[in-house]
Structures are given as C-alpha cells and as structure tokens.
Amino acid sequence: MRTRTQVGIVGAGPAGLLLSHLLALRGIDSVLIEIRSREYCEARQRAGVLEHGTVGLLREADLADRLDRLGLEHGGIYLQFDGERRHIDFRELTGRTVTVYAQTEVVKDLIARRLADGGALEFSVTDTEVSGLDTDQPVLRYTDAAGTRHEVACDAIAGCDGYHGICRPAIPSGVLTTWERDYPYAWLGILADVAPSTDELIYAHHRSGFALHSVRSPAVSRLYLQVRPDEDIAAWPDERIWAELAHRFALPDWTLDQGLVADKSITPIRSFVSSPMRYGRLFLAGDAAHIVPPTGAKGLNLAMADVAVLAPALDGLLHGDERLAAAYSATCLERVWRATHFSWWMTTMLHRAPGADEMETQLQLSQLRYVVRSRVAAASLAENYTGYPERPGGRLEPAEPARGAGPHAQPAT
Ligand SMILES: Cc1cc2nc3c(=O)[nH]c(=O)nc-3n(C[C@H](O)[C@H](O)[C@H](O)COP(=O)(O)OP(=O)(O)OC[C@H]3O[C@@H](n4cnc5c(N)ncnc54)[C@H](O)[C@@H]3O)c2cc1C
C-alpha cells in the first residue's frame, strides 16, 4: 500500500514519540513505526531521572499531567565514599531540581497522547527500510502486524530507532565519524517492590565496586551494582544481590530495606557518538546517534533534547527555510559532547576499574572529597546533572495552524 506523510519516524522510544507530538503541535503530519508491541515499549525498564529542562519541555508540550502528579522532585544526590555520605544540594547550588519519573511512564504518557490525538502509530511492524535519503522524497517501507507491506513517501525521515536500529547503518559508509568507548564493567540492575531507603539517590564509591540506590516511586526502588561486563546473571540470586548492596552502601545507623525483586538485568556501559546527525533528509535523534553511560542520568534527557531541536528544524525545512535543519547536528552535538564528558567523568570517578591500583583509588577519593567540599566543584556537578545548557532546544513556540497536510497520513497522490 502506498501512502504519503510529511515526516516518517522510525522507533517509538522517547525520541520518536515526543517528536511525533511536537510535530503535531506544529500541524505537521507524521507516521511512526515501531518493531516492538505497545505493551513491550511501555514495560521496558530503563531510565528514570528527568532534568529540570526536560520537565519544562514536557510541561510546555502539555504532556506533564501525570508527571506533575506522580513525579518525585529531588533537590540533590548523595555521594558516598570512604565511610561518609554527603549531600550535593542542587536547589541551593543552581536553583534547579531533577524529577524521578520512570521512562516507562514517559512512554505510556506519550503513546496515550498520540493515540488520543489521532496520531498514526504502528506497533509490531517488521522489515523496516529507509531509502532515497539524499533526495527530497525519502521513502519508508515496512510490513504491518497484519502482513501488509507499506511504502510511505516522506519529506523527511527521523531515525529514532536506538543504537541497534536500521537508520544509522543506512547512511553510506564514509559519511559518519564515530567515537566509541566500552568500559570494563557493567551494571546489574534490579527493580524492587520496596520503599526507597533514602530520600534522594545515593552514588556509592566502594572498593568492591560502584553501587547506586535509585528510586522509581514511593513504593518501588531501583538499585544497581557494578559487575564484570561478562557477568552471568544466573550467578546473582536475589540474596547475593541484597547482601552485596548492603555491603557497598553500609554506614552506621543506616539500613537498606529489602523487597521482592520484580526485574533483574545486566547493562553494558558504553560511550558512543556519531557525527553528523543528519544525512540528506534523514535526521538521527537519541540513542540512534549517541549513547552515554547511565551514571550521569543523561540518555533519556539527550533523546528528548534532540527532538526539541529537530521539531522546529523540520518545520522550517518543510516550509522552505533550511537554516535550523542545517544547524541541527552541530546544535545537538554540543549538548551531546557535554553530556558525554559529564557521564564519563561521573563513571570514572565512581567505578573501580579492573586491576586499578591504590594510586587510582586515592585519586578518585581526592576528587570526591573536592566535589563535596568545594562549593565551585559541587556547583559544576549540580549544573551538569540538572542539565546543561538548561533549556533543551530553546522555548517552544505556540502551536501554529496547520500548513499543508492534515493530521493523518494521506493516500499517495
Ligand atoms: C537497559 C538500559 C538501561 C538504561 N538505563 C538508563 C538510566 O538509568 N538512565 C538514563 O539516563 N538512561 C538509561 N538508559 C538510556 C535511555 O533509556 C535511552 O537513552 C533512551 O531510551 C533513548 O531513547 P530513544 O528514543 O533514543 O531510543 P530507544 O528508547 O532505544 O527507542 C528506540 C526504539 O526504536 C525501536 N526500533 C529499533 N529498530 C527499529 C526498526 N528497525 N524499526 C522500527 N523501530 C525500531 C526500538 O524497539 C525502540 O522502541 C538505559 C538504556 C538501556 C538499554
């Protein structure tokens, strides 16, 4: 079946879903396709910390109803090392906060809103292909869940299909420059049905390895342990995980409460940046273009910051003004590299590298002491953690009346 839309979007993660909504606010048609089912996308456990500017973006885009009711505003984090746990007070240092609101909830809100607004979303598709990227009429092809093959003529395509997607590999070889670092450790993460044992996230440096006590809701905790990249999750029964967490977070007069482990997984830790984020009429956004270690809580925020830049850029491009589209890659990459550096810095300050000697440990401890004792160093951490630059993509303009296409994909002319 042949159809037409203005923007074809590949991938229903936070980047693709938010982009389709921001485009709809501008009266721009899109078709969004996703290889997984809606249920899978809504249940996939990933990030959970929203920067100050990301919350502002979602509020301006009228997407913050549940976020404002259920999100937990956090005014800082704890850094724990060498027997002390010290608070970094974001509110006092920057006047800003972060909000704990799970990526699963962000995705649920976005899907519900797109469907309520009559957006064209197709889940469980197969055989996605993009072509004609260096022409003014790129084409998106896929097979829907009922087995019908579709060919969608687009004015532009947004590759929001994550690190393992098909859009970045569709760019001819020699166009992209990539930078990649695999760290010599991974995170074993659990989701536990137990009230958090802390009011704010605890980042713990420990000689046995890093640990993070994160939060998902007043009744659900998210906890992580640094493990080897080739670690077998079968070697980690729940009792061993709780014992190791208690060991790494141990402080006098503090107890880690335990609960039912509802989800358990191991995530590799990687930095990856690909440049440019545009090839012809294909624009990459989110994990399709860059990956950061989760230590800085930046992956989800970067994905949303990219599409905050991309929506007005596509609006301009579709109406004959190429300037924002020409600046898209450089605008995003400036923020991406800042987040890449911050995430690397947090990661290497807090994790124990295999074979690390005492000199390295002492350097990490010195850096941690400096961060908690120097107001300037603490402010730098707080500024980066809450989001730098503060606003992702600039202030959203009010929705303009639709120019050109209507709200749905149209039959091919
Ligand atoms: C296990 C894990 C844990 C994480 N934990 C954290 C964390 O604690 N903190 C943090 O900040 N970040 C974390 N991240 C990173 C964060 O979740 C991502 O940065 C964020 O999901 C990026 O959003 P995205 O929309 O760019 O990509 P994704 O969320 O990956 O969405 C891409 C979508 O494209 C779909 N897709 C792929 N190929 C195709 C295709 N061919 N056709 C159609 N659709 C396709 C995928 O199914 C997926 O739904 C984690 C990531 C992972 C994998």
- Per-residue pLDDT 10s for the chain (413 aa) are 999 999 999 999 999 999 999 999 999 999 999 999 999 999 998 999 999 999 999 999 999 999 999 999 999 999 999 999 999 999 999 999 999 999 999 999 999 999 999 999 999 999 999 999 999 999 999 999 999 999 999 999 999 999 999 999 999 999 999 999 999 999 999 999 999 999 999 999 999 999 999 999 999 999 999 999 999 999 999 999 999 999 999 999 999 999 999 999 999 999 999 999 999 999 999 999 999 999 999 999 999 999 999 999 999 999 999 999 999 999 999 999 999 999 999 999 999 999 999 999 999 999 999 999 999 999 999 999 999 998 877 544 443 433 433 333 333 33
Residue 37 tokens, joined:
């089912």
pLDDT attached to residue 86: 98
Indicate whether residue 36 lines ligand 1 (CB < 6 A): yes
Output the residue whose Cα is nearest ligand 1's atom 2: 46
pLDDT attached to residue 310: 98
Q: For residue 280, count other CB atoms closer than 10 A to its CB.
A: 16
Indicate whether residue 46 lines ligand 1 (CB < 6 A): yes
CA nearest to 132, candidates 280, 328, 325: 280
Estimate to the nearest angstrom the gap between the alpha carbon of 365 and the chain centroid.
Answer: 29
Alpha helix (H) residue ranges in 81-222: 90-94, 103-116
**How much distance in Å is there from the Cα of 273 to the middle of ligand 1?**
15
Considering the chain, what is the average pLDDT of its residues? 94
pLDDT attached to residue 7: 98
Indicate whether residue 349 lines ligand 1 (CB < 6 A): no
Burial 333-372 (b: 16+ CB within 10 A, else e): bebbebbbebbbbbbbbbbbeeeeeeeebeebeebbbebb
Tally of helices (H runs) and strands (E runs) in the chain? 11, 22
The percent helix, strand, coil of the chain (3-state, each to 5) is 35, 30, 35
Active site residues: 74, 203, 294, 298, 385
Indicate whether residue 103 lines ligand 1 (CB < 6 A): yes
Q: Is the pTM for the entire model greater than 0.75?
A: yes
What are 231-255's pLDDT values in tens digits? 999 999 999 999 999 999 999 999 9
What are 383-401's pLDDT values in tens digits? 999 999 988 775 444 434 3
Q: Decide: 378 and 371 in contact? Cβ < 8 Å.
A: yes
Output the residue whose Cα is nearest ligand 1's atom 20: 300
pLDDT attached to residue 392: 78
